[in-house]
Structure 1
Amino acid sequence: MLGNISRGGILALGILWLIPLVWAVWSAFQTRESVLSAKLSFSYTLANFSKVWDSAPFATYYLNTFILVLGILAVQLVTTTLAAYAFARMEFIGKDVIFMLFLVQIMVPADILIFPNYNVLSDLSLLDTKLGIMMPYFASAFGIFLLRQTFKTVPYELEEAAKMEGCSWWQTLWKIYIPLARPTYIAFGLVSVSYHWNNFLWPLIVTNSVENRPLTVGLAIFAQSFETGAQWIEVSAATLMVVFPLLLAFLLFQRQFMNSFMHSGIK
Structure 2
Amino acid sequence: MLSKITPKIGNLLMLALAAVWFVPLVWMTVTAFRPRQAALSGFFSLDFTLDNFATVWSAAPFATYYINTIIIVVCVFAVQMLTASMAAFAFARVSFAFSGVVFLLFLVQIMIPADVLIFPNYNVLKQLTLLDTKLGIMLPYLASAFGIFLLRQVFKTIPGELEEAALIEGCNKWQVLWKIYFPLARPTYVAFALVSISYQWNNFLWPLIVTNSVENRPLTVGLSIFAQSFEIGVQWTEVSAATLLVITPLLLIFLVFQRQFIDSFMHSGIK
TM bin (shorter chain): over 0.9
- TM-score where L is the length of structure 2: 0.97
Q: Which residue of structure 1 lines up, in the alignment, with residue 35 of structure 2?
A: 31
Secondary structure of 2:270's aligned partner: coil
Q: Give yes or no for the alignment of 1:42 onto 2:50.
A: no
Amino acid in structure 2 at the alignment position of 1:162: A
1:177 maps to which residue?
181
Q: Does residue 89 of the first structure (1) align with residue 121 of the second (2)? A: no
Q: Distance in 1 between matches of 2:204 and 2:80?
A: 19
Letter matched to residue 18 of structure 2:
G
Deviation at 1:82, TM superposition (A): 0.2
Q: In the alignment, is residue 201 of structure 1 matched against residue 208 of structure 2?
A: no
Of residues 189, 196, 202, the one that matches 1:192 is 196
Q: Which structure 2 residues correspond to residues 1-267 of structure 1 after superposition, within 5 A?
A: 1-229=5-233, 231-267=235-271
The alignment of Structure 1 onto Structure 2 pairs a total of residues equal to 267
Deviation at 1:229, TM superposition (A): 4.8
More deviation, 65-74/29-38:
29-38
Please tell me the root mean square deviation across aligned C-alpha atoms, in Å: 0.8
Could you tell me how far 1:33 is from its partner in structure 2?
1.2
Report runs of 4+ in structure 1 exceeding 2 Å deviation: 227-230
Task: Report deviation, 1:260.
Answer: 0.8
1:90 deviates by 0.4
Between 32-41 and 96-105, the greater mean CA deviation after superposition? 32-41
Amino acid at match of 2:8: N
Separation (CA, whole Å) in 2 of partners of 1:110 and 1:176: 33
Contact 1:55 1:228 in 2 (8 A): no
Conservation of the 8 A alpha-carbon contact between 1:28 and 1:234: yes
- Give the whole-Å Cα distance in 2 for the aligned partners of 1:230 and 1:51: 15
